[in-house]
Amino acid sequence: MGEKQVPREADGAGRAGGARGLREADGPRGERTSRESEGGLTRRGLGLLAGAGLAGLVLPGCAYAEGPAPDARTTESASGGSAAESAPDDGPAATALRAAYLGTYTTQPGGGTGIGLATYRPDRGALASTGVLDGVANPSYLALAPDRRTLYAVNEQAQGAVTAMRLGDGRPPEVLGARSTGGADPCHLSVHGRFLLSANYTGGSLAVHPRGRDGALGEASDLVRHQGSGPDPGRQEGPHVHQVVTDPAGRHILAVDLGTDSVYTYRLDERKGTLREIGRTATRPGAGPRHLVFHPAGRHVYLVNELDSTLVVCAYEPRTGMLTPGKPQPTLPRGTVPDERNYPAGVIISPDGRFVYVSNRGHDSIAVFAVQRGGAELRLVALTPSGGSYPRHIVLDPTGRLLFASHQKSGSVTTFHVDRRTGRLRSAGAALEFPVPVCVLPL
């Protein structure tokens, strides 16, 4: 494949409620891009969780390579941003059977019927399928509330929605209902205290929903629509919010907009459930920012740009919530030519903040970067074949021992052992075949 700098490693295998308010952020006029756009919600098949033996599992404290220790404000999600992270577990925690949920597209050719259920052991690795939560339409992104008992899923469709499910020991999950996001194709969500934040990709907007004590969602308390466009007419004809996360201090909310080459900073009024824009950071025109992840120290952010296939180290000012982008660097070694446009997707960081991982969809690889100078620099140290086609999403398990990669085109999820000293990846065995997986949430 023409790698010049880094040797490529060996292959391894409910009801929808309307929004109360609609506000627009200033900017040039833009249009929308279509994504997956149909499906519905039923409760059929939810009993499979208990039948598969997952309901009785102990759900350990979720920990993802994406930010600070969990508190009442931050979510535990499947990728990127300020989701919770703790030190890697050893001993009994590494040998206990754990649950995982798989986000999917249900309306793509060959798609499934809902949220996949699986189990794994951190010391062994590979996922084993145990069933499906049927009837959740296009649950392409998942997040777990800090109480670890409420699961949220986007419904990425033209009439966008978010679904809440209550998890319980010894009984099937209870569907708490679905609420409209007020925009098309929500593709990311996160929990901020008593609220759920959702990013509408095609709608180019952010939705805020209050969360009840049982995790159920209320009618949207705010909807903020971005304005603007970028130089790529095929992908940036209008705003496309791809991610919304809370910073490690729980003070600011960052929204990554691929369509306008911007990262917006907001403050949330937790009494009213409304957002107030603080400012925005411009990226290089045409870069197409997709996802970001915070360094555990909270002073640096790593931003992956989908359209120009770059990764940027940004200085972060916790007081203002603003970013200062550094020089972009490629997510592939210079001279590498993938079979198709690369479109990097996921970006995550190890629990100790020493390594950053990026999934390259066009190249079917996972890039490993060493973090240097206290988080201010990244150096590409390894490039590992992802073991499938189009690795849309990557995530570390709570122990920090495993990395999961979900492949949209090959319909597979691969698992890797993580060398916590070098950051390098080693195949953990055969891939799990599953219909159009695009997200993994390991518990």
CATH number of the domain that residue 50 is part of: 2.130.10.10
Cβ-based neighbours of 7, under 8 Å, separated by 6 or more: 382, 383
Euclidean distance between CA atoms 371 and 296, whole angstroms = 12
Euclidean distance between CA atoms 381 and 360, whole angstroms = 15
Contact between 347 and 357 (Cβ < 8 Å): yes
* H or E stretch covering 377: strand 377-385
* 120 half-sphere exposure, CB direction, 13 A CA radius: 33
Q: How far from the centroid of its chain's Cα atoms is residue 200's Cα? A: 14
pLDDT, one tens digit per residue, over 387-434 is 999 999 999 999 999 999 999 999 999 999 999 999 999 999 999 999
Is 11 part of any domain? Answer: no
Euclidean distance between CA atoms 175 and 43, whole angstroms = 7
- DSSP class per residue in 247-302: -TTSS-EEEEETTTTEEEEEEEETTTTEEEEEEEEE--TT--EEEEEE-TTSSEEE
Cβ-based neighbours of 233, under 8 Å, separated by 6 or more: none
Through-space distance between the first and last CA atoms of the chain, rounded to whole angstroms:
35
Residue where the block lists tokens 């506000």: 23
Is 17 part of any domain? Answer: no
pLDDT, one tens digit per residue, over 238-278 is 999 999 999 999 999 999 999 999 999 999 999 999 999 99
Handedness of CA 240, 292, 294, 432 (dihedral sign): positive
Amino acid (one-letter) located at 44: R
pLDDT, one tens digit per residue, over 180-217 is 999 999 999 999 999 999 999 999 999 999 999 999 99
Contact between 359 and 346 (Cβ < 8 Å): yes
Contact between 94 and 122 (Cβ < 8 Å): yes
Give pLDDT, residue 75. Answer: 53
| Backbone φ/ψ region at 4: left (φ over 0), alpha (ψ -120 to 50), beta | alpha
Q: Are strands 23-24 and 222-225 parallel, antiparallel or unpaired?
A: parallel
Euclidean distance between CA atoms 440 and 443, whole angstroms = 10
Is 10 part of any domain? Answer: no
| pLDDT higher than threshold 50 for residue 179 | yes
Rounded to an integer, the average pLDDT of 40-55 is 37
Residues shown for the chain: 443
- For residue 135, the SS3 value is coil
Cβ-based neighbours of 349, under 8 Å, separated by 6 or more: 65, 66, 85, 293, 294, 295, 296, 302, 355, 356, 357, 371
Q: Which domain holds residue 122?
A: 23-442
Contact between 413 and 407 (Cβ < 8 Å): yes
Is 67 part of any domain? Answer: yes
Q: Whole-model pTM?
A: 0.84
Question: Which residue did the predictor score with more confidence, 248 or 171?
Answer: 248
Euclidean distance between CA atoms 220 and 195, whole angstroms = 10
Is 15 part of any domain? Answer: no
DSSP state of 165: E
Rounded to an integer, the average pLDDT of 108-133 is 94
Is 379 part of any domain? Answer: yes
Give pLDDT, residue 360. Answer: 98
Contact between 60 and 98 (Cβ < 8 Å): yes
Confidence label for 336 from pLDDT (cuts 50, 70 and 90): confident
Confidence label for 83 from pLDDT (cuts 50, 70 and 90): very low
Q: How many domains are contained in the chain?
A: 1
Rounded to an integer, the average pLDDT of 166-192 is 91
Paired residues of 190 in beta bridges: 197
State percent of the chain over pLDDT 90. Answer: 73
Euclidean distance between CA atoms 90 and 88, whole angstroms = 7
Contact between 128 and 119 (Cβ < 8 Å): yes
Give pLDDT, residue 89. Answer: 52
Paired residues of 293 in beta bridges: 81, 302
Q: Which of 70, 94, 78 is nearest to 418 (CA)?
A: 94
Residue where the block lists tokens 């934040």: 197
Is 3 part of any domain? Answer: no
Euclidean distance between CA atoms 291 and 346, whole angstroms = 7
Q: Are strands 114-120 and 128-134 parallel, antiparallel or unpaired?
A: antiparallel
Amino acid (one-letter) located at 296: P
* H or E stretch covering 415: strand 412-418
Confidence label for 324 from pLDDT (cuts 50, 70 and 90): very high
Is 385 part of any domain? Answer: yes
Average pLDDT taken over every residue of the chain: 85
